[in-house]
Amino acid sequence: MENEFAKVMSERTDEELIKIVTVERERYNTTAIEAADAEVEKRNIDTSEFVKIREKATAEKEQKQKVDSNVVGSGIRFVNLLIDFIVWLVLAFIISFVIGLFVQPTDQGMISLIGYILIFGTFIAYYAIMEIKFQKTIGKFVTKTKVVKMNGEKPIDGDIMTRTFCRLIPFDRLSFLFVKNGIHDFLSKTKVVKDNVE
């Protein structure tokens, strides 16, 4: 009877197979490893590649473990939330005050529209600008934390924008109280870690 994993392993790339039979070996059962070994042999993959791929995969695994061990807990996330909420409210108030000096609409609908634009605009601008520029908000400066990608690298602007807009999802603010990575972290593939992580 043919190994049940033979087809699955035949669809893997050479690099994936090498990772499976080297650094990820403990994650697979014996039958899967046998299928991967057989596929490596069948393809006649140059074993000199094993060393380079193993070293790269080991370095990636160590970096991921380092990042994971520095992910901050719910308490610090809550402090970040409180500080950033206060800063955002102050910013929104100041901007509203300044705009109110120059624009004084009489229509109640227009006043409501301007209010919503100011509330959401300052919210999005605050988080997006701070995290794109510094990888942190005022709250994160205070708690000495920052935003990183899952592998510890600096997030690109698109990651931060996704993260920022995902904050508008209802109950997002409560999600980090139950798990280390809240909804906006999960969807943007980012984490908040202690600032000493490279």
- Tell me the backbone φ, ψ of residue 147, rounded to 5 degrees: -95, 135
pLDDT in the model for residue 1: 41
Q: In this predicted model, which residue has the larger pLDDT, 196 or 73?
A: 73
Banded pLDDT at 126 (limits 50, 70, 90): very high
For the chain, percent of residues with pLDDT exceeding 90: 42
Tokens of 52: 């380079």
**Burial classification of residue 46, based on how many CB atoms lie within 10 Å of its CB (0-12 exposed, 13-18 middle, 19 or more buried):** exposed
Single pTM value for the model: 0.73
**Of residues 166 and 111, which shows the higher confidence score?**
166
8 A C-beta contact, residue 163 and residue 71: no
139-164 confidence digits (pLDDT tens):
999 999 999 999 899 999 999 999 99
Q: What stretch of H or E contains 76?
A: helix 74-102
Tokens standing for residue 133? 């520029």
Over residues 182-196, the mean pLDDT reads: 91
- Average pLDDT value for the chain: 88
User: Residue 24 in 3-state DSSP?
Assistant: coil
From residue 64, give the alpha-carbon distance in Å to each of 111, 149, 178: 49, 10, 22
Region of poorest pLDDT, from 55-59, 114-118, 140-144: 55-59
